[in-house]
Structure 1
Amino acid sequence: MQNVSELLPTQQSNFPVNRPVVHEQPRPAQDPSQDAQAAMAKTIDKLFGTLKAFYTNHGASLKSPEIEGQIKTQWVRELLKAQITGEMLRMGTARAKRYATEDKYTKWPVVAEFIMWCHGLPSVDEAYREAVDHSHDIVNWRPTHPAVYAAGKRVSWHKLRRSDTQAGQNAYRKAYMEIAAKVVAGEQIEVNKPQLIEQKKLTENEKAELKQLGRANIGALKAMLGKG
């Protein structure tokens, strides 16, 4: 009979070693969009708090915490999609405050309007009034934004001068919103205004020739009239 010790493996390496295989799970990479959404959400919370002090009738739009939360979510999504920077956000906020203070925009702004303001675009009503007020002197006019001028040029200044017609107003609003959408999408709008024709400065010789020509014309006219 074999000894029990003889039944054991003589080397430790002969022991079957069943170590559990541990597969290290890669850590999920932090989604930068989640960070951006979280940062923008905090910004929107502060923005809404600021605007509520100016839009005192905000309750008509933000009727409940649930509705306000839904609107905030929409603003976060749309502002991120439009790539609104901090500086642009400050510009839009300043314009929103001004409109509320001047009672030109007492309703809570929708996000599409606010994005326009962030791009330096005035409201549709303000753009229309500006275009009409300067339609008689477009050469010396410095528009607040190129889109304001471009929309007026598309509609025609003659139609805008007839500011009492609803057709001209509707045409301008349609043109302005189309151009504003291009601005928000990143397109550059230029103001191509007609230039004043500068009067040519005459030399002394040219002035003398014109005087002689004028005298000759006067003399010929007198001869025709029998007054020579």
Structure 2
Amino acid sequence: MNEKKRALNEVFGLLKLSYHNQFNSAFPDTETLNHAKRLWLESLAAFSPVEIVAGAKRAIRQSEYLPTVHKMLQLCAAGDNGLPDARAAYREACNAPSPKANYNWSHPAVYHAGRDSNWFFLANNAESAAFPVFAEHYRKICARVLEGEKLPAPEQLRLEENPSKPLTKEENAQKMAALRAEFDI
């Protein structure tokens, strides 16, 4: 726990340097700052000290605004190869080639949100209509991931291992004759 407290103090130091005016507005006194630190410590308990500091550094790189606890949860979960933001995930889902299950997704959450949103719907509707639907599915899936759920990777589609042999001309003629007789054609 001491390591997490040290990491959280480092995070708040980084945030104060990066978002000086916003930080001082959000945490005007020591009491408010201490309450915030306790809330963040409790909310980010699932993450290691390294992930917490990395999340803060991602916030500094990606946002001009002081992150909320919710945003920090997303940034800590993102990792080096983790959850992209909703807009990037939407673009990835829309641009992925078919078959979708065979695409190398940045995170399984993107695939699952796209599948739940309906690939056809995403491909055939304007972004103004499709993005809100995708974003809502993605938000729900990300919340499950942040709670510790491990999403299964998409099941890769494969060709059958023992494909059947094509029929000869004689076998085709026999099958056709049998079908004609069966349907009285």
Same fold (TM over 0.5): yes
Whose relative contact order is higher, 1 or 2, with alpha carbons under 8 Å and at least 6 apart? Answer: 2
Once the 2 structures are TM-superposed, how far is the Cα of residue 40 of structure 1 from its aligned partner? 4.8
Q: Distance in 1 between matches of 2:7 and 2:140?
A: 27
1:19-56 residue CA offsets vs partner (Å, 9 max, x unmatched):
xxxxxxxxxxxxx7xx5785354222333256x1xxxx
Structure-2-length-normalised TM-score: 0.69
Q: Partner residue of 2:117?
A: 155
1:102-125 residue CA offsets vs partner (Å, 9 max, x unmatched):
xxx433332211211211222122
Q: Distance in 2 between matches of 1:68 and 1:122?
A: 34
Count of matched residue pairs:
168
Q: Superposition pairs for residues 41-190 of structure 1, below 5 Å?
A: 41-48=8-15, 52=18, 58=19, 61-62=22-23, 64=25, 66-67=27-28, 70=32, 73-74=35-36, 76-83=38-45, 84-99=47-62, 105-120=63-78, 121-134=83-96, 136-162=98-124, 164-190=126-152
Larger radius of gyration: 1
Larger fraction in helix: 2
Gapped runs of 5+ residues in structure 2? 177-185
Instruction: Give, as a single letter, the amino acid of the residue that structure 2 aligns with 1:154.
Output: D
Percent sequence identity over aligned pairs: 21
1:125-165 residue CA offsets vs partner (Å, 9 max, x unmatched):
22112111116441331221111111111111111113524
When structure 1 is superposed on structure 2, of 64-73 and 37-46 the one drifting more is 64-73
Once the 2 structures are TM-superposed, how far is the Cα of residue 189 of structure 1 from its aligned partner? 1.5
Once the 2 structures are TM-superposed, how far is the Cα of residue 167 of structure 1 from its aligned partner? 2.5
Q: Distance in 2 between matches of 1:44 and 1:98?
A: 14
Cα RMSD of the aligned pairs, angstroms, is: 3.5
